[in-house]
Structure 1
């Protein structure tokens, strides 16, 4: 249960005066189901009103409130012609009140000649006339606020109605004890929580109120992560100290880079501790994360425990199985793979091997932490493509052992520092910022799609030389069906030209069919792989040297960079062709493609992607289960995340966590911003 003080905030909106079934529907479409949702539905802008007694050209472009007297009707003969009412202000200045949509009867009824009315609206100039289009009659001019908030709305809900409901919500909202460290609050000049909510709805331009609420949300998120970290550190894990025998047996094609060696040393140091490791490994495409993960898994096996590697898709899991099996050739380690499609005796054999300890390393999808999967002694869990999994899913895997295993999370999507702190604040972070020897730089070109024929010709020349290429189809809309149609159409066109050299892979294929096409591409029987963006095109094919991406201007930087990284894995010169929509591009799309053309640095690209697109899109927060932010903007994250992290650490490490006076208030913040789901120790608190 939530602390009782917060109960009014979690009241259903139907409890507010005037909210019945009809009004609850448009509110529900906006996600406004409880009073707290209304309070956190912040204005996106505002209208400033200016009260005037006389109209003046100097006020053109402003919203004015003025008292006028209608003097003449000027209605056109056609029903489509606008209806105009000529009116004068107190000093005799003339203004036209303009109405569209066959509204002469409506206009006459509202504005009888000779009867003064107080009106509001945007003052415009049309030819020599001052005019106000569709003015609003103002009944309560004296009480009307000079600044009106603009809210995101839904059909059936007006801004005026929503503002009235928000006012009811503010009236019911309780005063909450302060969770911000006092000197910090004073230094920034922030109001209290309830005052900040009232101020932001009264004046959307109130920067201090908006900053305070953004900070509250970031602080609650960081506190949740710090509590997870502290809880994990308190649990006694199993120190893992390997003897090096398995690592010495590895026959590597190259010596590890400095970044790999540094990261391996950090991991080895973590594994030797009794507190379970919580480490995030970031590495650009091709930076060598797989080798680092393998070394970590071998340390766990050398120490007499088992390792598990979790991948988000079946394709990626089986690719890891093939890659690790090749790397471990001649090394006395047993590796197995387990995915949702494994059934019958094969699955039973794997489960038995895990339970009796004869399987050293298990690779698989979510299936590896189902209830039926029991390990003899799980020492290390590695999660690949970490951005696909939330905090709760990370914690699930750590419960597969009597003593919590060490956890290494990896991502090939470089994450900006602000997002690393906000999404993985409970983890230590390692970065692979060097490329292994032999990794080729990729030449990137931007080409208008009206030159599609030339691109197809260049693909033909590559295939004639036994080369291989990827062709990624456009993201038509957020729909797997539309992606599939685009991919099928493109594959059909290319097959008409290149015949059986073309393969098609998409997310709606059955796993065996998908695996067969991937295997054919890897073996070179398929030379041109057409794919949608809903799957991981994760096969490592060194012979593939060309990546074609249609309508590249519709994609985010990080996704384009990931797709580009599928080539450049062999010795040959690799090229990525970004086909952009013909005609003028928007400023953001143009900046995005220009940066990709000039840079192969995934970390730089990620920072720019955050600036251009925002946090949610980069990490896919809605899909991943990570904490989405309702109030904090990317700019505010940049400015406030470090302070919020330090404040949360201070509370947990020095001020007694949730038990002190400020800690009890902070507990309210966790519930208020719904970060309690990530912190199991708050359940029932």
Structure 2
């Protein structure tokens, strides 16, 4: 059956040149299952074959280049395994060698000495002589304008297994050549014509053709803009549709009363005056919870900015309005910290708070479940244990989720279903999220930012030192300890089972023990391989001030809160990501004293490593750090695997396409403002797209 009768959903094995074995590889290695999947498997770069280079201009740092010249000599050199074919190739500017290690006999017969060729490959330098290994070659014919492939040649990502089956970039390109020409005729437009006109976008069919086989840079740019816009536009369409649904469909509890618990806490229990940023966020939350619609708000703020106080005041608001609240944290350490923090904050207020985690004894759980059901338990703090079916509330009115990026959307939804009226959602993160990422990951949420520290807090001073300055660093530690301060020393532990890293940690402890001997100095040690009981014991010793130095792995990234700790030393700082360095730095600077973060590194640093450490020294601004992190790591790594489905971007790049993302979002907002149900015939394609995405959600419920 000819390909012309097939469709984009046709299994990939039916494509000419594929077959069952290659199909299995394409599925396993690249998740390409259908003709459509392959058509949307775009090149990741292009080789510019529109330009010819001269031999005198070549150097080994160049990528693959194209040269027009004459073949002057060919000879075999070496014996057996060392045998190779070497040809002399020259143009009017110089001479170079062409070298082959395979197909020597065939090449020796087919190459024509004295003929003019177009060659293409990567220049290298061998024994001071310019050469090119296994170049592509084509006889030059001045009458044939297509010789030399004068175009932008697509390069596709491949894998070792695919290459073994001749599906390297060339192999994939050959498959695309036949498919794209056919598919572009089958490709249906998915954006309304008025949008194409307003945004000056080419058609989907043109974009698919030009993204694979552009004949000019202008064609490629037009294809990229069209396909990037489409990706970002449909993400925003889906997110803002969800927001519209939540606003109109999901009715929320009305917190119209500011009661005794909220007022008593504000007047008598606040540990420090609220910052203007905290006041602004509480005002936004008060407005949200007063409308009768379900609140879905993301609260961003650096470590120590006062998010917990805002969360507690929101929970007290819920309690004063006859509802229960819960707070979910990703780890037991963090849940315990939140629980202890909330208990100390509320003091003698008549509010019942309990902790639920995987290690809560069965007997305690039973009582806790009973208290939840009879309504005598006001606030429950916990880990993933909160989403278990056995945890039932009498009237859950508010859910606070800390470090949202550690949880999946489904886990958030399970908490929604704990009540007939969906509870208000307050999602908190101390990991600053770049604006573009927030618009994409959390575009269905309203965003609040606490962008100032409580009064009296001083910005942390950050310093980068190399190994040669270790004695200087030890001296600084002694000076701070002499002032009565405490010090963290953190080592990287990439995997808790990695013996090499653990030995590195132990070697560091021995070194510190020599420099800071007993009984003058006492050291706490905490790492992930310790039993939880021992870990808590060591942490408590440091919290109580019984030890001056805590040597730890990144388990303290989220954990203890010690206002007296003023120095954070991060060993092998180049091995940490930016967001992790920023989180670790946030462990100090929690009291009124000046705090310091010292980044220790080896002298050998990669360009990226230098940028990370210099960024930390330059700024304390979490959002600036997050933007740099986005450029370095990409959105997928920052968002985590839980969000990978949302960020399945093939072309758009959130670190560079911010303007396009904002344009797409503004356009979607405008469309929904004009046509909330997308009933206008001109928006039929958009409505169809959403109906497929939402698997039959009835838009008629939007009122």
State TM-score, norm by structure 2. Answer: 0.84
Q: Quote the Cα distance in structure 1 between the aligned partners of 2:541 and 2:11.
A: 56
Would you say the 8 A contact 1:235–1:404 is kept in 2?
yes
Displacement of 1:390 after TM fit?
3.8
Would you say the 8 A contact 1:42–1:201 is kept in 2?
yes
Q: Quote the Cα distance in structure 1 between the aligned partners of 2:667 and 2:326.
A: 35
**Per-residue deviation, residues 588-615 of structure 1 (Å, max 9, x unmatched):** 4434333322322223333333344432
Q: Quote the Cα distance in structure 1 between the aligned partners of 2:428 and 2:40.
A: 34
Would you say the 8 A contact 2:55–2:95 is kept in 1?
no
Partner of residue 563, structure 2: 542
Residue 354 and residue 63 in structure 1: after superposition, are their counterparts in 2 closer, same or farther (change >3 A)? Answer: same
Residue 277 and residue 492 in structure 1: after superposition, are their counterparts in 2 closer, same or farther (change >3 A)? Answer: same
Residue 223 and residue 390 in structure 1: after superposition, are their counterparts in 2 closer, same or farther (change >3 A)? Answer: farther
Partner of residue 3, structure 2: none
Partner of residue 577, structure 1: 598
Q: Quote the Cα distance in structure 2 between the aligned partners of 1:491 and 1:537.
A: 21
1:227 maps to 2:241: yes
Partner of residue 212, structure 2: 201
1:217 maps to 2:217: no
Displacement of 1:371 after TM fit?
1.4
Residue 131 and residue 246 in structure 1: after superposition, are their counterparts in 2 closer, same or farther (change >3 A)? Answer: closer
Displacement of 1:46 after TM fit?
1.6
1:25 maps to 2:28: no
Residue 512 and residue 296 in structure 1: after superposition, are their counterparts in 2 closer, same or farther (change >3 A)? Answer: same
Would you say the 8 A contact 1:335–1:363 is kept in 2?
yes
Residue 466 and residue 169 in structure 1: after superposition, are their counterparts in 2 closer, same or farther (change >3 A)? Answer: farther
SS of 1:297's partner is helix
Partner of residue 247, structure 1: 262
1:529 maps to 2:550: yes
Which residues in structure 2 correspond to 1:168-179 (within 5 Å)? 168-170=178-180, 171-172=182-183, 175=186, 177-179=188-190
Partner of residue 135, structure 1: 135
Partner of residue 14, structure 1: 13
Would you say the 8 A contact 2:325–2:399 is kept in 1?
yes
Partner of residue 157, structure 2: 152
**Per-residue deviation, residues 428-451 of structure 1 (Å, max 9, x unmatched):** 121112211232221111111233
Residue 165 and residue 132 in structure 1: after superposition, are their counterparts in 2 closer, same or farther (change >3 A)? Answer: same
Relative to structure 2, which stretch is displaced further, 64-73 or 263-272? Answer: 64-73
Aligned length: 668
Residue 87 and residue 448 in structure 1: after superposition, are their counterparts in 2 closer, same or farther (change >3 A)? Answer: closer
Displacement of 1:162 after TM fit?
0.8
Would you say the 8 A contact 1:97–1:135 is kept in 2?
no
**Per-residue deviation, residues 309-331 of structure 1 (Å, max 9, x unmatched):** 11111111110000000111110
Residue 504 and residue 202 in structure 1: after superposition, are their counterparts in 2 closer, same or farther (change >3 A)? Answer: farther
Would you say the 8 A contact 1:657–1:663 is kept in 2?
no
Q: Quote the Cα distance in structure 2 between the aligned partners of 1:130 and 1:330.
A: 82
Q: Quote the Cα distance in structure 1 between the aligned partners of 2:343 and 2:94.
A: 85
**Per-residue deviation, residues 638-663 of structure 1 (Å, max 9, x unmatched):** 11111221232344443344665565
Would you say the 8 A contact 1:83–1:104 is kept in 2?
no
1:604 maps to 2:624: yes
Would you say the 8 A contact 2:65–2:123 is kept in 1?
no
Residue 569 and residue 38 in structure 1: after superposition, are their counterparts in 2 closer, same or farther (change >3 A)? Answer: same
Which residues in structure 2 correspond to 1:461-540 (within 5 Å)? 461-463=479-481, 466-474=484-492, 484=502, 486-495=504-513, 498=516, 501-533=522-554, 536-540=557-561
**Per-residue deviation, residues 353-409 of structure 1 (Å, max 9, x unmatched):** 111111100111121122111110000111111232344433332221100111111
Partner of residue 647, structure 2: 627
Q: Quote the Cα distance in structure 2 between the aligned partners of 1:114 and 1:249.
A: 95
Q: Quote the Cα distance in structure 1 between the aligned partners of 2:478 and 2:302.
A: 30
Partner of residue 44, structure 1: 44
Would you say the 8 A contact 1:474–1:483 is kept in 2?
yes
Displacement of 1:481 after TM fit?
6.8
Relative to structure 2, which stretch is displaced further, 468-477 or 243-252? Answer: 468-477
Would you say the 8 A contact 2:297–2:448 is kept in 1?
yes
Partner of residue 583, structure 2: 562
* Residue among 146, 151, 173 paired with 1:163: 173
Would you say the 8 A contact 1:621–1:628 is kept in 2?
no
State TM-score, norm by structure 1. Answer: 0.86
**Per-residue deviation, residues 327-367 of structure 1 (Å, max 9, x unmatched):** 11110000011112224111122122111111100111121
1:236 maps to 2:235: no
Which residues in structure 2 correspond to 1:387-426 (within 5 Å)? 387-426=405-444
**Per-residue deviation, residues 484-512 of structure 1 (Å, max 9, x unmatched):** 55434434543465578333333454443
Residue 568 and residue 94 in structure 1: after superposition, are their counterparts in 2 closer, same or farther (change >3 A)? Answer: closer
Residue 681 and residue 567 in structure 1: after superposition, are their counterparts in 2 closer, same or farther (change >3 A)? Answer: farther
* Residue among 340, 352, 374 paired with 1:322: 340
Would you say the 8 A contact 1:557–1:592 is kept in 2?
yes
Displacement of 1:23 after TM fit?
6.1
**Per-residue deviation, residues 2-44 of structure 1 (Å, max 9, x unmatched):** xxxxx95455433323323256336633444444443333222
Relative to structure 2, which stretch is displaced further, 168-177 or 524-533? Answer: 168-177
SS of 1:578's partner is strand
Q: Quote the Cα distance in structure 2 between the aligned partners of 1:353 and 1:86.
A: 88
SS of 1:634's partner is coil
Would you say the 8 A contact 1:475–1:554 is kept in 2?
no
Which residues in structure 2 correspond to 1:29-178 (within 5 Å)? 29-49=29-49, 63-64=65-66, 71-73=73-75, 75=77, 80=82, 83-86=85-88, 97-99=97-99, 101=101, 105-106=104-105, 109-111=108-110, 120-122=119-121, 132-138=132-138, 142=146, 145-147=149-151, 148-155=153-160, 156=163, 157-170=167-180, 171-172=182-183, 175=186, 177-178=188-189
Partner of residue 260, structure 1: 278
Displacement of 1:172 after TM fit?
4.0
Q: Quote the Cα distance in structure 1 between the aligned partners of 2:203 and 2:211.
A: 12
SS of 1:220's partner is helix
Q: Quote the Cα distance in structure 2 between the aligned partners of 1:653 and 1:164.
A: 46
* Residue among 347, 368, 374 paired with 2:392: 374
Would you say the 8 A contact 2:71–2:87 is kept in 1?
no
Displacement of 1:549 after TM fit?
1.1
Residue 570 and residue 129 in structure 1: after superposition, are their counterparts in 2 closer, same or farther (change >3 A)? Answer: closer
Structure 1 alignment gaps of length 5 or more: 1-6
Q: Quote the Cα distance in structure 1 between the aligned partners of 2:382 and 2:67.
A: 67
Q: Quote the Cα distance in structure 2 between the aligned partners of 1:85 and 1:604.
A: 54
Residue 380 and residue 483 in structure 1: after superposition, are their counterparts in 2 closer, same or farther (change >3 A)? Answer: farther
RMSD across aligned C-alpha pairs, in angstroms?
A: 3.7
Residue 326 and residue 277 in structure 1: after superposition, are their counterparts in 2 closer, same or farther (change >3 A)? Answer: same
Partner of residue 674, structure 2: 654
Structure 2 alignment gaps of length 5 or more: 1-5
Higher RCO, Cα 8 Å, sep 6+ = 1
